[in-house]
Chains A and B, each alone.
Chain A
Amino acid sequence: MRLEKCWFCSSTVYPGHGIQFVRNDAKIFHFCRSKCHKNFKMKRNPRKVKWTKAYRRLHGKDMTQDSTFEFERKRNRPERYDRNLAENTLKAIKKIDKIRSDRASGHIKNRLKTGKVQRQKEARKQLELGIHLVKAPLALAQDSSLCLPKIKVNVSQTQTEENQPMEE
């Protein structure tokens, strides 16, 4: 029993799911669901379809080269069973997985950093240019920080007299 990778979107195909297509030249295509299968039948190139892993890797959206990928390699020669080795392997898989996902999210964060910087610059510019919509020039002259003006409330003297008994 093996988990295969969908040929179109590169997600894992669990047993009992999907379809396998064998072409006349004996090449086997695995599909995870009918969406990928139908796309394949339409002869779409996965490298051009935005939501597939192939596109993302090709256009640098996801991490492509990393040492964690070398741990997972299809081995055709079966090894003799060794309990210790099996235990170690199972523990290692978990750790490797964690490291790989950390690195992948780091890659994405890095990629989005430039966008963040740009957005912050834009925001600042917008603030500077548009401050006149929320703050009158007079108020701006008095208080030159780029934030909302403090609203002045006229307090009538009657109120102060009423308060006096309280203060005492």
Chain B
Amino acid sequence: MVQYNFKKITVVPNGKDFIDIILSRTQRQTPTVVHKGYAISRLRQFYMRKVKYTQQNFHEKLSTIIDEFPRLDDIHPFYGDLLHVLYNKDHYKLALGQINTARNLISKVAKDYVKLLKYGDSLYRCKSLKVAALGRMCTVIKRIGPTLAYLEQIRQHMARLPSIDPNTRTMLICGYPNVGKSSFMNKITRADVDVQPYAFTTKSLFVGHTDYKYLRYQVIDTPGILDRPFEDRNIIEMCSITALAHLRAAVLFFLDISGSCGYSIAQQAALFHSIKSLFMNKPLIIVCNKTDLQPLDGIFEEDRKLVMEMKAEAMKTVIGQGGEPTNEEGVLLTMSTLTEDGVIAVKNAACERLLNQRVELKMKSKKINDCLNRFHVALPKPRDQKERPACIPQAVLEAKAKQAAEKEKRKTEKELEDEYGGAGVYSASLRKNYILANDEWKEDTMPEILDGHNVYDFIDPDILLRLEELEREEGLRQAEEEGDDFEMDGQELSLEEQEALAEIRKKKSLLIQQHRMKKSTAESRPVVPRKFDTDRKFTTGRMGRQLSSLGLDPSLAINRARSKSRGRKRERSVDKREGDGGDAMDIDDNQASKKLRLRSTSRSRSQSRPPGEVIPGEGLKDSAQKIKAIKLAKKSVLKRNKNARRGEADRVIPTLKPKHLFSGKRSIGKTQRR
């Protein structure tokens, strides 16, 4: 029993690709290196191996192709016919035959050339024989190239055929195009078939599955059939005819009552009568679709008659199945796929009829005897004549009754919503049914967060008590604290002391700053000696101010400083100032002292040295030594100066024209200027 899994057929390669694959495999899997100097038997063996290997591979691949493609006679007649309808049995068989011939030809070629190779006498001859052999095999394949392409196409199409199991419970939907077969299919199964207003939307068979009474049913949607003689039918219609002919299924013949498919009831009835031979031994149901557009009762008399005729035919099939009582309802049904009115009923009726038919058949067949002993319904043996019905306590019955009543009385939230304006307008109050101590609190909003705390963390039934305790504690603690505070204030500094401390700190920081400046600049920067006093820091006024800020009387110090620097004139003016204060004298004195004060800036004059004096220092121990050093220095320079010659301190250009500046090329730049 072949599995109808056409998807598992291996890919048929293109002619060229086929050759490439085999030849490259030969090249990879057989030894490649051979030299003239080998023994002749070795050379022969080498090339024979190649030819044989190639032939084997071709044989293998072609055999797989031939085996995997199904033989139309061996498979179920439904599939055989379907494949014939789609691909033409003859072409198919021819193609496979050609493949077979090719295989045999290749074997023959290989055999012949191996025989020849046995007598090859040189490398060159063996090689040419091998080349010829391989060449011929490849030509054979090249010739069947179109056949391979055709088989590949068939394979691809076969893989896409719907997997229909011909032996299981099947329902077949047929009728004119556009009557609503695919819509019905979409309604009862999960299949998603294209539904469009034009005819022949469905171009091939489609399978869907549906369930009824815990059993799986296949539902097959067929393309529409037109009323034509058998020979004129095209491939698409032939598909549905094939399905009708071979599958043992319940047939649902669809009838469009309203005529919106474009065909009248008369035409549809004519089709029915022309294919009724295919409905032999199959439970037939006539389905009137599109009743939303035209109810069954409203059609014209002639049409009604036609429909009744069809019904009569359908009844015959019912009667033909073992003399069942004629069940009128199960034969002619109405429905509308648009309003989904009656769809389920149709499905159920069809499934029921099919099931019954299959069960009957099984009962009649010989196999039933094998199965029969597996069925056994156990019933307890009656002990006595007493009747023992099911016992339900009264309370349960009452509760059930009450529940039923309640369900009808209660208004659901959804009804409320609809009443008040729909989903976007009305929002249900979720707190309606809260159970609280006081019903007024139902709509209260409680804050969840307060001052950076979660309120829910603080909720406690006895929070008030605890709060009171806490406040008492706090009162005690605060009293204690105040006592502590009093002790602290003893050791503070008074205001004046604080001022003094601030001053001390300021002075200290100043000193530190100055020291740091001195330290950092001492080595690098020459310092102006104090005697020049460029900043005018060292004045008596300043000294006086500093001393008085220290709390001393500066007058003595000032006097002493001035007396040491000035002549007698200064002393006189100082006396006068300290003496009586006559008005006239004062004015003069003020002027005189002013003049003297101006002159006092040339204090340094009094401290200058005579020009010839030499002070010891600079590494020399006394003036005499220094004088001698000076003399030596002058002597060394004297002659050169007299001759107007360059001395040690004069600038010297050692070479006036250094070579590196006046010759040579530059690696970068121009040499315009030298």
Contact B447 A88 (CB under 8 A): no
Contact B500 A93 (CB under 8 A): no
Which of A28-36, A47-55, A67-75 is the interface stretch?
A: A67-75
B441 within 8 A of A: yes
Residues of B within 8 A of A78 (CB): 456
Shortest Cβ distance from residue B479 to the other chain A in the assembled complex, whole angstroms:
13
Find residues 92-122 in chain A having any chain B CB closer than 8 Å to their own CB. Answer: 92-97, 99, 102-103, 106, 113, 116-117, 120-121
A58 within 8 A of B: no
Residues of A within 8 A of B455 (CB): 86, 89-90, 93
Interface size, B (range): 35 or more
Asked, given contacts A1-B449, A85-B461, A136-B551, whether A96 binds B467 with beta carbons under 8 Å apart, the answer is: yes
Asked, given contacts A90-B455, A93-B455, whether A99 binds B504 with beta carbons under 8 Å apart, the answer is: no
Question: Which chain B residue lies CB-closest to A4?
Answer: B454
Contact B550 A149 (CB under 8 A): yes
A12 within 8 A of B: yes
Selected from A2, A88, A90, A130, the residue in CB contact (under 8 A) with B450 is: A90
CA distance A96 to B263 in the complex (A): 89
CA distance A133 to B507 in the complex (A): 7
Find residues 476-493 in chain B having any chain A CB closer than 8 Å to their own CB. Answer: 477, 481, 488, 491-493
CA distance A130 to B509 in the complex (A): 12
Contact A12 B437 (CB under 8 A): no
CA distance A117 to B492 in the complex (A): 9
CA distance A97 to B437 in the complex (A): 30
Contact B467 A92 (CB under 8 A): yes
Contact A99 B474 (CB under 8 A): yes
A79 within 8 A of B: yes
Asked, given contacts A88-B463, A95-B471, A123-B493, whether A72 binds B504 with beta carbons under 8 Å apart, the answer is: no
Selected from B474, B477, B500, B553, the residue in CB contact (under 8 A) with A134 is: B500
Asked, given contacts A73-B457, A120-B491, A146-B497, whether A133 binds B452 with beta carbons under 8 Å apart, the answer is: no
CA distance A155 to B547 in the complex (A): 17
CA distance A81 to B447 in the complex (A): 12
Contact A138 B552 (CB under 8 A): yes
Interface size, A (range): 35 or more
Shortest Cβ distance from residue B80 to the other chain A in the assembled complex, whole angstroms:
61
Shortest Cβ distance from residue A72 to the other chain B in the assembled complex, whole angstroms:
5
Residues of A within 8 A of B453 (CB): 3, 72, 93, 97
Shortest Cβ distance from residue B550 to the other chain A in the assembled complex, whole angstroms:
4
A164 within 8 A of B: no
- Judged by DSSP, the binding face of B is helix
B473 within 8 A of A: yes
- Judged by DSSP, the binding face of A is helix
Asked, given contacts A3-B453, A130-B504, A135-B550, whether A96 binds B459 with beta carbons under 8 Å apart, the answer is: no
A83 within 8 A of B: yes
CA distance A72 to B463 in the complex (A): 11
Residues of B within 8 A of A136 (CB): 547, 550-552
Shortest Cβ distance from residue A116 to the other chain B in the assembled complex, whole angstroms:
8
Selected from B438, B452, B508, the residue in CB contact (under 8 A) with A12 is: B452
Shortest Cβ distance from residue B605 to the other chain A in the assembled complex, whole angstroms:
31
Asked, given contacts A95-B467, A127-B493, whether A75 binds B501 with beta carbons under 8 Å apart, the answer is: no
Find residues 16-30 in chain B having any chain A CB closer than 8 Å to their own CB. Answer: none
Shortest Cβ distance from residue A10 to the other chain B in the assembled complex, whole angstroms:
12
A157 within 8 A of B: yes
Selected from B434, B438, B459, B473, the residue in CB contact (under 8 A) with A89 is: B459
Asked, given contacts A73-B457, A75-B459, A147-B497, whether A93 binds B451 with beta carbons under 8 Å apart, the answer is: yes
Residues of B within 8 A of A126 (CB): 501, 504-505
CA distance A37 to B365 in the complex (A): 79
Contact B504 A81 (CB under 8 A): no
Residues of A within 8 A of B447 (CB): 90
Residues of B within 8 A of A145 (CB): 496
Shortest Cβ distance from residue B5 to the other chain A in the assembled complex, whole angstroms:
45
Selected from B448, B497, B581, the residue in CB contact (under 8 A) with A158 is: B581
Contact A86 B446 (CB under 8 A): yes
B458 within 8 A of A: yes
What 1/0 mask marks residues of chain B from 547 to 558 whose CB sits below 8 Å from any chain A CB? Answer: 111111101000
Question: Which chain A residue lies CB-closest to B441?
Answer: A83
CA distance A120 to B477 in the complex (A): 27
CA distance A140 to B550 in the complex (A): 10
Asked, given contacts A68-B470, A89-B455, A96-B467, whether A151 binds B500 with beta carbons under 8 Å apart, the answer is: no
Residues of B within 8 A of A147 (CB): 494, 496-497, 499-500
B211 within 8 A of A: no
A27 within 8 A of B: no
Interface residues of B (CB under 8 A from A): 434-438, 441, 444, 446-461, 463-464, 466-467, 470-471, 473-474, 477, 481, 488, 491-494, 496-497, 499-501, 503-505, 507-508, 547-553, 555, 581
Q: Could you pull out 7 A-B pairs where Cβ atoms are within 8 angstroms? A: A2-B454, A3-B449, A80-B436, A88-B464, A89-B455, A92-B458, A99-B474
